[in-house]
Structure 1
Amino acid sequence: MIKNTVLSIAIICCCYLTTVAQNKNKSKQDSTVKKNLKISAFPVAFYTPETAFGFGGLGIGTFWLNPENRDTRPSSVQLGLSYTTKSQFLLYMPFEFYRDNEKWRVVGEFGFYKYFYNFYGVGMDAKEADEETYEVTFPRVRFSIVRELFTNFSIGVGYEFDNFSNLKIKENGILSSSEVIGKRDGTISNIGLVAFYDARDHIFYPTKGIYIQGNVFTSSQILGSSFSYYKAELDTRYYQKLGKRHILASNLFLAHSSNNTPFYDLYYLGSKRTRGINNRRFQDNAELSFALEYRFPIAGRFGGAAFGSTGTVASDLAKVLQSSYINAAGVGLRYIINKRDGVRLRVDYAMSNEGGNFYFTIKEAF
């Protein structure tokens, strides 16, 4: 019998709002500026055993920075706000800005979280029955600025900041008795190199092309880090049209971090790459995962998806090919909330051999 399985229920589509500012009585120039901004917003409610009931809202705004050409990719800002009946609070604002015909790209996130996370132990041998949750409060900053050196290839610098405080863990639990780093709060402050090759035709809903991003980050005590470690990541995505509106998308992710990595910055399965696995169900210093997704139209603004994934974590990169793997699969529904830019509302249900989870958010998983 499967115990302590996280079941997430998304109560969707209470309302839908799309705003495009228009005013026929003003000048043509003023009207053009206003139509530059496209805003979509809607409320959301959910339930998980660790959070109880939660509710809030999600929104996204897309636009071009002046004087960018409308044939270039639009910039975007998302905003999410949620509160749960266990007094948890989530505020997050991911963003992407494009400038100088996409030669400059600024990508990142600002956020503040008071939230519960799962902990089962470290490694693929972690037992589902050992599940416990810990509460932590932290502001978050993710920021990278890159410059295109030649067609589709860009390089730049990135920064990561999380200030973990008020960490509450179960007394005499597996986290309390483990030897993981970071059990007594701490600050992550990492700086690094970011490089990517982006030949996708769209950023919100790619139909063809390839995207490869590599990151190398190291902690910096000069910037206030409580830890001393490094990490490296390789994220590869490929998109292929199958007919006019059918798309096959794939995502291969490979990552490694050093032994001094705090436990809340370890790589883990259960993210958007491996939907269907309980969040942080398996975590360790290295990850290898692969996801494949088939996206297809249904009718009007509605579309669907069928996807599967496999992944593993290990103590170091050399062991990921020798480690055991866990598989997951699921189906999803899509609704176009912004036809101009192809932004979609995503609702997925995915399962592994330990149960299933619902997912509700903006934009595709990859």
Structure 2
Amino acid sequence: MVLKAQSPQPQNDTIKNLKVNVLPVVFYLPETGLGYGVLGLSTFRMPGEEVTTRPSSVQLGLTFTTKKQFLLFVPYELYFDEEKWRLRGELGYYKYFYNYFGRGINSDAENEETYTADFPRFRLAAYREILPRFSIGLGYEFDGYHVLEPEPGGLLDNSNEIGKEGGTISNIGLLALYDTRDNIFFPTKGWYLEGSFYKGATWLGADFGYTKFEFDARYFKKIKEKQVLAANLFFGTRSNNTPFQDLNYLGTKRTRGFDNRRFLDNTELSLTTEYRFPIWKRFNGAFFGSASTVSPSIGDVFSTTYRGAVGGGLRYVINKEEGTRLRVDYGHSGQGGQFYFTINEAF
């Protein structure tokens, strides 16, 4: 379903080019039972912004399951003052199950167990452009893990993991961003380089005083008409006193093809490449491959085992003007395979 509200002569004090897309979601997993909900995306331009600037966007994910689990997440990215200001983050509430296999790239799949977490989430990153396409900013992260239920007597319950009894993550951070992409939803050329450093803020209610650093590098190049090569290099590391909920792990959108949180540890290094191509009218396709690892420390990341994954998928363009699309992917690794159904590209 697509709703469109656009005035022929938009005023500077009103939202412009508002488009809303809403889709039903139905799935079944043994851990959740039947799940159902909605997935939505709205794109628009803030009051005073020209139609030639990048669009702001707000997504919505709302899911219920027959086993009384609940997901609500609202990621957002807003642009102001001719793109000189950018706000990005998420509002959410999660009552859901998560996997735990133990730590390390060689953790045993037979150790798999699940735990239930119940927590609100808030993310906010505010960037100000100080040079063309280069911005600096401040960030804040909050997760309130007040209810955490590991399997009694299980691997997690008997571990020394920090945060296994719950607690509050409350981090403040410094951010730097260089972004020359031609489109934020479907880039065909340009760079996206972001570095961030976060530290637990006990004066803001944090129960964990850890630090973390991340560097996210993406490159996009058009090779033929509507054909794009994309690459994503990610490096992230945490201090030893990090709660296990916020450790680096494989199974994200960067590393499709692994069970969520299949391999988890302090440090991650991953490289994903993707070939994106048109198929027919609004339908597009992609093939991707990745190599990635996690390790206890930065030094170990260059000498440890790397895990590979490959896959492909379909995209359906729901908004030709902005480039927004639905994405269905299947990724396969030595650990098995996973399907992904969501909005917009993985990176």
- Partner SS, residue 157 of structure 2: helix
List runs of 5+ in structure 2 lacking aligned partners: none
What is the aligned partner in structure 2 of residue 179 from structure 1? Answer: 160
User: Which letter maps to 1:141?
Assistant: F
In structure 2, the CA distance between the partners of 1:302 and 1:176, relative to structure 1 (3 Å rule), is same
User: Hey, what's the Cα distance between the residues in 2 that align with 1:28 and 1:105?
Assistant: 25
Distance 2:328 2:10 in 1: 38
The Cα of 1:52 is off from its aligned counterpart by: 2.5
Deviation digits for residues 15-48 of structure 1, max 9, x if unmatched? xx1111268xxx8457x96762011111011223
Which of 104, 116, 125 pairs up with 1:123? Answer: 104
**Residue 78 (structure 2) aligns with:** 97
Q: Name the CA distance, whole Å, in 1 between partners of 2:300 and 2:151.
A: 31
**Matching residue of 1:46:** 27
Does residue 20 in structure 1 map to residue 4 in structure 2?
yes
What one-letter code is carried by the residue in structure 1 that aligns with 2:244?
F
Aligned sequence identity (%): 54
Aligned to 1:233: 214
Q: Secondary structure at the match of 1:225?
A: coil
Q: What is the identity, as a one-letter code, of the residue corresponding to 2:154?
A: G
1:77 is matched with which residue? 58
How many Å separate the matches in 1 of 2:105 and 2:5? 51
Q: How does 1:1-366 map to 2 (within 5 A)?
A: 17-21=1-5, 28-29=9-10, 36-366=17-347
* Structure 1 residues 63 and 22, CA gap change in structure 2 (3 angstroms): closer
| Deviation of 1:165 (Å) | 1.8
Once residues 219 and 30 of structure 2 are traced to their aligned partners in structure 1, the CA distance between those partners, rounded to angstroms, is 35
Distance 1:22 1:146, change over 3 A: closer
Q: 5+ unaligned residues in a row in structure 1: which ranges? A: 1-16
Contact kept in structure 1, 2:269 and 2:292, CA below 8 Å: yes
Q: What per-residue deviation string (whole Å, max 9, x for no partner) do you get for residues 139-160 of structure 1?
A: 0001011100101100010000
- Residues matched between the structures, number: 346
TM-superposition CA deviations, 1:66-91 (whole Å, max 9, x none)? 11111110101111100112111000
How far the C-alpha of 1:51 sits from its partner, in A, is 2.1
Distance 1:208 1:78 in 2: 24
Equivalent AA in structure 1 for residue 4 of structure 2:
V
Cα deviations by residue, 1:126-171 (Å, 9 ceiling, x for unpaired) = 1000000000100000101110010110001000000002211111
Checking the alignment, whether the CA contact within 8 Å between 1:18 and 1:338 is kept in structure 2 is no
Q: Tell me the equivalent position of 1:12.
A: none
TM-score, normalised by the number of residues in structure 2 = 0.97
Residues 149 and 34 of structure 1, relative CA distance in 2, 3 Å threshold: closer
Once residues 296 and 28 of structure 1 are traced to their aligned partners in structure 2, the CA distance between those partners, rounded to angstroms, is: 36
In structure 2, the CA distance between the partners of 1:297 and 1:229, relative to structure 1 (3 Å rule), is same
Per-residue CA distance 1:95-138 (angstroms, 9 max, x = gap) = 01101111100000000000100000011121000000000100
SS in 1 for 2:254: helix
Larger relative CO (CA 8 A, sep 6+): 1 or 2? 1
C-alpha spacing 1:161/1:35, structure 2 compared with 1 (3 Å): closer
How many angstroms apart in 1 are the aligned matches of 2:81 and 2:2? 28
Q: Supply the AA of the counterpart residue of 2:235.
A: L
For normalisation by structure 1, the TM-score amounts to 0.92
Distance of 1:22 and 1:183 partners within structure 2: 49
